[in-house]
Every structure is written in C-alpha cells, then in structure tokens.
Copies of this chain bind each other. A is one copy, B any other.
C-alpha cells in the first residue's frame, strides 16, 4: 500500500465531484471554487486540476482556467470500442505467448467463480456486484498479463473516461434476475476467449474478444440512449452531450 499524499486525495475527491456532476459541463471551474469544495488550498486544487486535465476530465485554456469536459454518447461508445480493440490485442498476445501455469490458474479461477454465481440460483444485487468485479478483473487482467507496458498505459488512458471501464455495466432494469441472460452471454464469451487462448489461436481469440466487447458496448449504448433523458444523465442544451456522472448512479458497478 503506497502512502497517499494530499494531492492524491484531492485529485480523487475532485474526480468524484466531477463524475457526480457537481460542476456542469462546459462550465468554468475556478481554483477558488474547487479549493473551497475540497477544503484545501488553491495550490492543491490547482495541482489536482492539472492532474485531471491530463486525465482528460478537465479542459484547460491558458490564462482562462479550466472547464469541465463533457462527453457525447458517441465519444463514449467510441472509447468502449477502442477498449475492446486493446483487449483483443491483449488476447492475441496472450495466445501467441501461451499462458503460464500461473496465468492459466488465475483466469480459470476468475471464470469458475463467476460461473458459480450464475449456477447458484437467483441473481441478487450482491451476486451481480461480485460478478461485475470479476468481469473487471478478467478484462484488466488480460491487459496486464499481456506484458506490454504501452498496452497497459493506453488502456488506463481510455478506461478513465466515464462509463468506459469494464466495471461499469449498464443493466436493463432494477431486478437483478433480469440481467441473467446478459451475464450468461458474457460468461460464455469469456469461456470461449480463454479456450481460444489456451488453444494458441491468436487471431480467433482477438476476434472473440472484439466481438465480446462490441456487443457489451452496444448494450451500454442502448441503455445509455434510453437513459439520456432521465435525471441521472443530464442532457445539455445544444447537443447530444451528457454530463459526467458517477458509475454508481446509473449502473450497477
């Protein structure tokens, strides 16, 4: 556990503020306002803002401060697509290199636990929560285990955008059991991808991964479109923009 400095906490705090929609998109966000909100000095606020600028959450105009960046649904869908492509690359590399025993056990373990959840009977909120965590583990685990630094870095860059992380799954309805088909499809996808990797079929693994991501991206897109007018996602005057909102708000992350 690496020690946290004040900046890290401030940055995290500001990020959450942005995701939760505390500032409106396109709105100018001043050091003073941020400092006050976070209860820190302007310097720290400025540092945090600089960090979030580099994350792509804030836009900076020199001498004119920062504005919060807004994302169109297309941008988010595009980002999800790119995430899928990156994961496809990871799958191919893993297939080409072949699993180590440790990797094989690791991924098998993830898959087994998530399968167990679906076998266990009714899908509860907690179950589903755990399932999405395992999903996140699997996806980012493949990126990590591919062993290419640049791939990891590109991935975290893309995944920083709101709603893009694999942990964020937009489900149809409140009743968890209704999401069973969605989960079972994903589960099958995962199984096939791992099988392809084990069979050292790089291209096939990549294709499967791409398809898998594309499909879950389409899911998100549909649900997002449906939710665009709802209270959680504020639509903006003058465009198909949505404000940032925290994953917890509009999904079962």
Q: What residues of chain A have their CB less than 8 Å away from a CB belonging to chain B?
A: 2-5, 8, 43, 47, 50-51, 54-56, 61-63, 75, 78-79, 81-83, 85-86, 89, 148-151, 153-154, 157-158, 161, 164
Would A89 and B85 count as touching, CB distance under 8 A?
yes
Question: Which of B54, B61, B86, B150 lies in contact with A79, CB distance below 8 A?
Answer: B150
Measured CB to CB, the closest approach of chain B to A38, in angstroms, equals 17
Would A78 and B150 count as touching, CB distance under 8 A?
yes
Which residue on chain B has the smallest CB distance to residue A146? B78
Would A81 and B5 count as touching, CB distance under 8 A?
no
Which residue on chain B has the smallest CB distance to residue A156? B157
Of the candidates A8, A56, A150, the one having the most CB atoms from chain B within 10 angstroms of its own CB is A150
List chain B residues, Cβ under 8 A from A51: 50, 54
Measured CB to CB, the closest approach of chain B to A82, in angstroms, equals 4
List chain B residues, Cβ under 8 A from A164: 150
Q: A154-B154, A157-B157 known; 9 other A-B pairs, CB under 8 Å?
A: A2-B61, A3-B62, A8-B62, A75-B150, A78-B149, A81-B150, A82-B154, A153-B158, A154-B157
Would A153 and B149 count as touching, CB distance under 8 A?
no
Bound form: Cα–Cα A55–B86 in Å: 19
- Known: A47-B50, A85-B85. Is A63-B5 also a contact (CB below 8 A)? yes
Bound form: Cα–Cα A78–B36 in Å: 44
List chain B residues, Cβ under 8 A from A2: 61-62
Bound form: Cα–Cα A62–B11 in Å: 14
Measured CB to CB, the closest approach of chain B to A14, in angstroms, equals 14
Question: Which of B8, B153, B161 lies in contact with A150, CB distance below 8 A?
Answer: B161
- Known: A4-B62, A5-B63, A47-B47. Is A153-B157 also a contact (CB below 8 A)? yes
List chain B residues, Cβ under 8 A from A151: 78, 82
- Known: A51-B50, A154-B157. Is A82-B75 also a contact (CB below 8 A)? no
13 interchain pairs (CB within 8 A)? Answer: A3-B62, A4-B62, A8-B62, A43-B43, A47-B50, A78-B148, A78-B150, A78-B151, A79-B148, A82-B148, A82-B154, A85-B85, A150-B164
Would B148 and A158 count as touching, CB distance under 8 A?
no
Measured CB to CB, the closest approach of chain B to A95, in angstroms, equals 15
Would B8 and A82 count as touching, CB distance under 8 A?
no
Measured CB to CB, the closest approach of chain B to A239, in angstroms, equals 15
